[in-house]
Amino acid sequence: MSCPRIILAGTNSGSGKTTVTMGIAAALSARGLAVQPFKAGPDYIDPGFHSAAAGRPCRNLDTMLLPRGSILELFSRSTAGADIAVIEGVMGLFDGAGALDERGSTAHLAKILAAPVVLVVNGKAMARSAAALVAGFARFDRRVAVKAVIFNNLGSEGHYRILREAVETETGIPVLGYLPRSESIALPERHLGLTPAAEHGAIGELTERVRRLTGEHIDVDRLVSLAGAAPDLPAFRPSLFSSPPAAEARIAVALDEAFHFYYHDNLDILEHLGAELLPFSPLRDRDLPAGTEGIYIGGGFPEEFAGPLAGNAPIREAIRSAAEGGLPVLAECGGLMYLAERLEDRQGAVHPMAGVFPGVTRMGKRLQALGYCTGRLERSVLPGAKGAALKGHLFHWSLYDSEGSDHLLSLRLEKNGKVFRDGPAVKNAFASYLHLHFGTNPAPAKRFLRTAAGRAGRK
């Protein structure tokens, strides 16, 4: 039997699907159900809210980075022991790689998973037109099963009754309820989108408020019935977790408020390949975990914590010394910013960082890069041999100025062909703005662990 599943899809970005998904996950979890949350696409921030709501790590399902079989494998593996899967879509339901390209869209994911879709609609300033909107989404691609609607951002019960009558009468699609307009459940934002759940001191209180409103205004029982009616998953051949281990190695993973942008499946893949993961905090820990044989520093918001990061000189020195000694270090985006010599924040203040790589990262006034990329290594470094291809996602506001040192990774944005270069490397340390998924790029993960094990005297 496949896990019951439901996709919460928006008509557009900003429809409220993150809040609705969070509320549904929290409401189901409060009933004693084991809820496995997922996020479509490469987002790192929304999963934090869903993890808090469900009490299980949220996983990403990205059809731009992962082939169909890998999507099915990750979904099946992650839902083992779960009663229901709640999946938040990305952007609008049909928004994908291009004007006529569904890759990467919520609709594409819904087809792969054979999952029913609940359309989340921002109903503010709308009446009968909501029926036309819903009808268009339901009929646009009949292979996508739009089974119900939830409204968001409504000012009154009376407004909801008008919307429900219009949609149900004109389209025959049931409306499951709504979330009222309320500042108490608004999710704060900043330059990369929502402020991460890891920075919310009162995430539990926020989750409870959303859960309560969901229980009061949304027919959760009917949603569970829709999820339970999903057919069995299509057949697939496991590949990601069927390969033999690469090498045993103890890998320190930076994990705190400043660094928490990781695909959870990346951590699972590292463990499957032989890693023992040792979480540490560049904000609070004074040294690397005992026995560290490699360091993995993901993305995050080092610019928001530049002062405390700069103030923790002992861990900066420990990381720099380890890298200078040849310890393998793999860093992405925020990790690159931390490993440079200096970080210049949005106010122009300059903070000393770990200094593994020469140069400075500067926060820009606008987004520097956004989208899926393919890259090619120009020299043999930690992630691969010269000429090796990497594929991932870029999303950053800062720029790295290497001050004359080499950039060893050539990147090309898929959407417009724009070319970037980054990828500083010193001994066995390598960093880039590119976020890798090890399901797409298993070779860098294996090479990372083998390098770490080799230095430790193991093969």
Active site residue 333: yes
Give the Cα separation of 164 and 162 in Å (integer).
6
Give the Cα separation of 236 and 242 in Å (integer).
13
Reading the block at residue 214, the tokens are 């969901």
Residue keyed to tokens 């790295």: 400
Give the Cα separation of 56 and 37 in Å (integer).
7
Q: Are 64 and 22 in contact (CB under 8 A)?
A: no
The number of CA neighbours under 13 Å toward the Cβ of 326 is: 6
Report the candidate in 310, 336, 312, 311 with the shortest Cα–Cα distance to residue 323. Answer: 336
The answer for residues whose C-beta is within 8 angstroms of residue 346's C-beta and 6 or more apart is: 303, 363
The SS3 assignment for 221 reads helix
Residues 3, 58, 333, 373: which is the catalytic one? 333
Strand-by-strand arrangement of the 398-401 sheet? 350-352, 340-344, 357-363, 398-401
Give the Cα separation of 35 and 24 in Å (integer).
10
Residue keyed to tokens 């500067």: 362
Task: From residue 423, give the alpha-carbon distance in Å to each of 157, 234, 320.
Answer: 54, 39, 17
CB count in 10 Å sphere of residue 92 = 20
Reading the block at residue 323, the tokens are 């890298």
Report the candidate in 256, 227, 194 with the shortest Cα–Cα distance to residue 110. Answer: 227
What angle is formed at CA 81 by the lines to CA 147 and CA 35, rounded to 5 degrees?
45
Q: Are 246 and 274 in contact (CB under 8 A)?
A: yes
Give the Cα separation of 276 and 282 in Å (integer).
19
Q: Are 121 and 93 in contact (CB under 8 A)?
A: no
CB count in 10 Å sphere of residue 157 = 10
Residue keyed to tokens 């990329």: 373
- Find the helix or strand (DSSP H, E) in which 130 lies: helix 129-140
Reading the block at residue 456, the tokens are 């430790």
Active site residues: 333
